[in-house]
Amino acid sequence: MKFTLSWLKEHLETTATVDEIAETLTRVGLEVEEVFNPAAKLAGFTTAKVDECVMHPDSDHLHLLKVNTGKEVLQVVCGAPNVKKDTIGIFAPVGVIIPCYNEKLTVGKIRGVESFGMLCSEKELCIGEDHNGIISLPAETPIGVPAAEVLAIDPVFEISITPNRAECLGVRGVARDLAAAGLGRLKPLNIKKTTGTFKSPVAIRVEDKEACPVYTGRYIRGVNNKAETPKWMKDRLAAIGLHSISPLVDVTNYINYDLARPLHVFDADKLHGGLVIRMAKEGEKFVSLEGKEYALDNKSLGICDDDGVECLGGIMGGMEKGCSADTVNVLLESAYFKPSVIARTGRHFQIESDSRYRNERWVDPNSNIAGSDYATALILEICGGEAAEIVVCGEENYRSKPVSLRPERVKTLAGLDVPEDEIVRILTALGFEVAKEGNTLKAVSPTWRGDIECEADLVEEVVRMKGLDDIPAVSMPADEFPKQTLSPAQRRAVTVRHELADRGMFETVTWSFTDSKLAGFFRKSSEAVKLTNPIAAELDEMRPSVLPNLLIGAGKNIARGAGSVSLFEVGPEFYGRRPGEQKQVAAGIRYGMTSKKCWQGGERAYDVFDAKADALAAVAAANGPWDSAQVTTDAPTYYHPGRSGVLRLGKNVLACFGELHPSVLKAFDIKGRVVAFEVYLDNIPLPRGTGGKSRKKLELSPFQSVDKDLAFVVGKNVPASSVVAAAKNADKEHITDVRVFDVYEGANLPEGKKSIALGLTFQPKEKTFTDAEIDALMKKVVLEVGKKTDGILRQ
């Protein structure tokens, strides 16, 4: 919402400065977005008179002036064609900043002659568009006074209006708030009533009185729409960014912004039969003044003649029956439409207009006739013509229900002490009718306010005018010792993030959306969770996995030359469209080398065991059973079938890990291998309460442990984990650790076999092992591995 100072003063009698007005607007909830005040940049600029004007000796268009600033006479070189002796203009002395160029003026030397300042054009001062010559002020203008005092400068305010304050979409509403806040007096609104001299030839009938309780039509004949809109109106409209179109359009626009009163004007000669205000028929055609065609439904309110819907009531006029330059006879509409009907239709057909914007928020239901009178007077004044009697359908009798306010609620809800008489004063100034009933105030809101429904609304009106800054700030009372802020599940997500970052991975946050063309690989159910209205084609699906977005991110980093990428994200993946059909996942990918080349070597390509280690670390950080989970080889199909695995507890999948499938990487345009993991945090069992638990007692043996190595030849398809498990199980009490330190296939081994070498730690409990006891333990291992895996000791 924009308006100029002079426009505001049309409604508000005030001596407040621009800054005071701006500060008050923001304080009462009409937030100032910008004040454009050219005067603020004119400090130092004064009026000055040209005492002498001769041609520059070395130029055929430059003048050499003696400029009298009231304090001194200065030599100035001037190129303006309109400069003459005795011209009074605006003088910029050396040192000021010229607003239009935003540069400091210095002593110039033009074709050998020094110039000590300049006379300015409107454009140079940012107060107008004229740059054909310098400003020339009337001869009686005093010399040496500040420019801002003599120039017609009208600062422009831009404020943002919240949806509840529809009346402030008109300048008068803003003025009323400022007056109530103590910034001046609201001037009475004097609208000239025009008495019609003949009966309206256009009959009007309202069929749907629910949707349109009041409809007024005023026929005016013999208007001249080619007349010039007055300069004051044009200037105000231009200041708020509206171009002058024709007087009829300008008048309706002006009243829209002056009183927040939308109007519409039909070319009455184009109307056939009378007007009927009714719901459209299903599929009925309407062509808007923007030329768009709509098939309406039976909830759309139409202003119709015999030809059909000519105006979508309260939203937008039609193409056919609007005014043009040749329009002579008009019908002026001013009506009250139910906001919910306007909102429904506007939303349904997605039509945006100033009219809809106001009508769906709130337009004073009792302002139809006044608005019509105001427009009629302006039209007659500008375009001439003769007005018929106004046709009014329905009654302007809106009255809102009284709302109760217990005066103490201002204190108990808002924390602000305001005496009752002050509460009454504020509400009255805002237009409320306030009456006292027992200990309660009953307030009837003014008809221009559609937003007052309950006690809290009235409390807001009071504190808004008193100023929120007056409410004391009281720290939250600590009623009891606080509970743990994060739940165990929330807490472990934090720990997992820190663990993965500590492992050298970079945490990223990517969209919850992804590209459905790439997401297909990752969907676990057949259904894609697609958005009805994605912001971009490649962000059209709620991601079924975090991985596609990590791959897109990795691809961009690789394209920039990153030889090593380790990214992870903790966030949701979606498996259905209903609320809650999502899981929290910690997912990561690694690509390329562990590091760049180093003088000591040691760099290597990331492989599946990095992803497995990440997955195990994340499960462990989430306090999950990382050491007892099984590893199976049935990872989803977007993983490499032979280089991937699943960490699970029976049916419950804790994590997947592995190299990603080459065809997936191809779709992402990534060359080389990428390993990935996904840890399903929601699937990791939460500890059953930690309260009062202590750790298992630490049993330390005083006896030296013994490390022994054994290698087994087993079938090629025997998983290493079963060899390790068999070895561990051979003597759970004394075998405390089993490591795989070599895996070998090839020469010296039979076809279809491989060798797995184990490092075993034997820990005595009662006394140091003898050689015989160690031998016995090794025999147990050989026996158990043989039994479980058919493995034989490699000689």
Contact (Cβ atoms closer than 8 angstroms) between residue 675 and residue 611 = yes
Task: Report the DSSP beta bridge partners of residue 564.
Answer: 592
Number of residues that bind another protein (CB under 8 A): 109
Segment interacting with another protein (CB under 8 A) among 233-241, 600-608, 669-677, 741-749 = 600-608
> What are φ and ψ of residue 686, in 5° steps?
-85, 145
DSSP secondary structure of 137-192: B-TTPPTT-BHHHHS----EEEEE--TT-GGGGSHHHHHHHHHHTTSSEEPP---P
73 forms part of the interface with another protein (CB under 8 A)? no
Segment interacting with another protein (CB under 8 A) among 525-533, 622-630, 663-671, 749-757 = 525-533
Contact (Cβ atoms closer than 8 angstroms) between residue 765 and residue 734 = yes
Cβ at position 10, least distance to another protein in Å: 25
* Residue closer to another protein, measured from CB, 333 or 460: 460
- CA pair distance 453, 450, nearest whole angstrom: 8
Take residue 315 and report the two structure tokens written for it.
């939203």
506 forms part of the interface with another protein (CB under 8 A)? yes
Q: Which of residues 531-590 bind another protein (CB under 8 A)?
A: 531-535, 539, 542, 549-550, 552-554, 556-557, 560, 562, 564-567, 570-572, 574, 576-582
Q: Which of residues 455-474 bind another protein (CB under 8 A)?
A: 455-457, 459-460, 463-464, 468-469, 471-474
* Residue closer to another protein, measured from CB, 69 or 584: 584
State the Cα angle at 190 between 186 and 194, rounded to 5°: 160
Q: Which of residues 238-257 bind another protein (CB under 8 A)?
A: none
596 forms part of the interface with another protein (CB under 8 A)? yes
Per-residue HEC secondary structure of 283-307 comes to: CCEEEECCCCEEECCCCCEEEEECC
Q: Which of residues 344-373 bind another protein (CB under 8 A)?
A: 344, 347, 360-361
480 forms part of the interface with another protein (CB under 8 A)? yes
The burial of 24, by beta-carbon neighbours within 10 Å (0-12 exposed, 13-18 middle, 19 or more buried), is given as buried
339 forms part of the interface with another protein (CB under 8 A)? yes
- CA pair distance 614, 477, nearest whole angstrom: 44
- CA pair distance 479, 466, nearest whole angstrom: 31
439 forms part of the interface with another protein (CB under 8 A)? no
* Residue closer to another protein, measured from CB, 487 or 633: 487
Segment interacting with another protein (CB under 8 A) among 367-375, 424-432, 453-461, 745-753 = 453-461
Cβ at position 299, least distance to another protein in Å: 11
Take residue 19 and report the two structure tokens written for it.
């800054």
Cβ at position 485, least distance to another protein in Å: 3
Cβ at position 411, least distance to another protein in Å: 8
Q: Which of residues 165-224 bind another protein (CB under 8 A)?
A: 165
Strand ranges for 431-563 from DSSP E: 433-437, 440-444, 506-507, 513-514, 541-542
* Residue closer to another protein, measured from CB, 414 or 782: 414
Contact with another protein (CB under 8 A) among 598, 698, 747, 772: 598
Cβ at position 463, least distance to another protein in Å: 6
529 forms part of the interface with another protein (CB under 8 A)? yes
User: 104 in helix, strand or coil?
Assistant: strand
* Residue closer to another protein, measured from CB, 31 or 149: 31
- CA pair distance 477, 571, nearest whole angstrom: 34
Segment interacting with another protein (CB under 8 A) among 339-347, 373-381, 400-408, 672-680 = 339-347
> What are φ and ψ of residue 395, in 5° steps?
-125, 140
400 forms part of the interface with another protein (CB under 8 A)? no
Task: Please name the residues in contact with 246: beta carbons below 8 A apart, sequence gap of 6 or more.
Answer: 225, 226, 229, 323, 325
Binding mask 135-164 for another protein (x = CB under 8 A): ---------------------------xxx
* Residue closer to another protein, measured from CB, 54 or 501: 501
- CA pair distance 88, 134, nearest whole angstrom: 10
Contact with another protein (CB under 8 A) among 486, 613, 743, 776: 486
Give the pairing of strands 316-317 and 214-221: unpaired
- CA pair distance 155, 9, nearest whole angstrom: 12
Q: Which of residues 22-61 bind another protein (CB under 8 A)?
A: 26-29, 31
Cβ at position 34, least distance to another protein in Å: 13
Helix 171-180 to helix 18-27 angle (10° resolution) is 90
